[in-house]
Chains A and B, each alone.
Chain A
Amino acid sequence: MAGNSEPLSPRAKLAVTAGRAAAAVSRAAGRGSGSVIGGKVALRLDPDLLARLAGHLDVVLVSATNGKTTTTRLIAEALRATGEEVVSNALGANMPAGITSALAGGSRARYGVIEVDEKYLAGVARDVTPKAIALLNLSRDQLDRAAETRMLAEKWREGLSGTKAVVIANADDPLVVWAASSSPNVVWVAAGQEWKDDAWSCPSCGGVMQRPGDEWFCGECGFRRPTPTWALSGDHVLDPHGSAWPIRLQLPGRANKANATTSAAVAAAFGVAPQLALERMYSVAAVAGRYDVVSHQGREIRLLLAKNPAGWLETFSLIDAPPAPVILAVNARGADGTDTSWLWDVDYSRLAGHPICVIGDRRLDLAVRLEVAGVDFQVCDSAQEAILACPPGRIEAIANYTAFQDLRRVVGN
């Protein structure tokens, strides 16, 4: 099933062309990459375009609250080891329009590796008939407008029941396990999940979850952690044959080792051996600006995106030890979610000892949060001011979504 064996219908071709034209106009007008507007135009002309485009590909879907953009990239790199072309929505446009636009660019590809927004997973999975679906984690995110976390798991569960795809799912996240266990063919990965506060209540019966060591189970109905066949163990991937493969990513942090482990399990489903898959992943140094280290004003600023409590928790565990200065940036614009209450679910006492500068539209929310956490901080009115307040050398900059984009612009990334 290499390349486009069946030609696209005239209607689908027209839709692709119209989409490209709209994207080009959008780019020329300076409104971003144009991939979303292009996809919208194309989908309006041919609502089945997504299914038609995907029909020529072996599709992998990746969904999660955190880590889906990075994992999509890692899987795409691993599958390139086959020598086949891979098409992917590498910039994170993860709703149907953005996905359509990305796939329209891959006429010679065999594989489509597609990040999907959590809310759209069931629908996209129905449209594109994926060969594999990777499910990493589910946790609270944008509570002012998102569906409840457990409801999302329920939607996944309904949407994936009876799927022909092999589902590669995190055995350490009870909500993911609940969602995946309706699928006939699941590969369980012990990928870890530091954040536990969205799964104390059994997704099946509402009983209280017990969590001795790495295990978890519901005391009431017996719903429990499945036995994984792949695992992240320290700095190694353990494969189903019991072999341990070292992980030497350029990307920092435990969460990315987990993403690499899941990616290796996905690659294996397409016949790529773990060692080969992992070696391909080592080439990834940054993903859509995330983890990039940018030189600016004599400082080396590492750009870290963290959008929700689980993301901040994982990020705190990867930054350099004190006295490395930390810039925290929080906005509450539409794309971030307009409620900042989630800042109170993040344990900022873990930043004690770091010089901290806070910036962003909602820096005063952060200021009160840090004052109550009893850690020292400084409030700055701009990113520029915060950067200059830090001594020359490494700065860890952690920002939520639009604050991250603002920061990238300031440091010219």
Chain B
Amino acid sequence: MDAFEAALGGDPVALDPWLATGERPQAGLWVYRNTTAKARADALAALYPTVERLVGRDWFRDAALIFGGDQPPESPVMDAFGAGFPDWLERFPPAGGFSYLAPAARLDAAWSEAHRAIDAPVVVAADVTGQPPARLFGATARLHPSARLFWFDWTVPSIWLANRPDAEPGQTVIWDEKPEGLIILRPRMEVTSRRLTRAEWAFLDACRCGQSLGQAASAAFRVDPATVLPTLFAGLLGAGVFTAIDMEPSQ
């Protein structure tokens, strides 16, 4: 089996003692090598469909082959394979000229994580109607376990949204140094993504760090003094961003 692993890895003579001589036996080894490479590339393509669409199928297959050699799967659960792909892409020289690739891969990874994340309840507007504002300000809002927050200095979310498998074709997207935010989550059975304003991002980032809604509101005002708090909060509730709101015990 040591010899077989070496042969799969590309060592042409490792398996010689076990094989009949001739070209045809070596062809059989290629079947195993191809199957392994294809299974890895298929798994990676399923996890990173936007990256595949951005670079094209052939480029992606070639990169997947090299990545699979650098970071082979450790488990038969292929969802776990490729977790290191965004970081790897960042250091992969042929991707050097495409600085949106690694960030787009991070968004793809977040989509897959949200898809298989644990199911959890969603707080809706009716759950908080009638709560005195002072009480809400002292409460903490827990983000849905599927939620992943992103803030970029460049237009990564626009590029990603326009190149998802279900995106409308033919959109023109400009790669520009313009800040954009995005949240990816699965409040119920469907993964959704929603652009975030800077105030929304600051608000959610504070919630993610365990700060109170009052502190989160201050964070939102700091980045955008024109924030209309009820509108911001209602928008996030409508998107299903929170799984629970923990009220402080009444004094």
Are A and B subunits of one complex? no
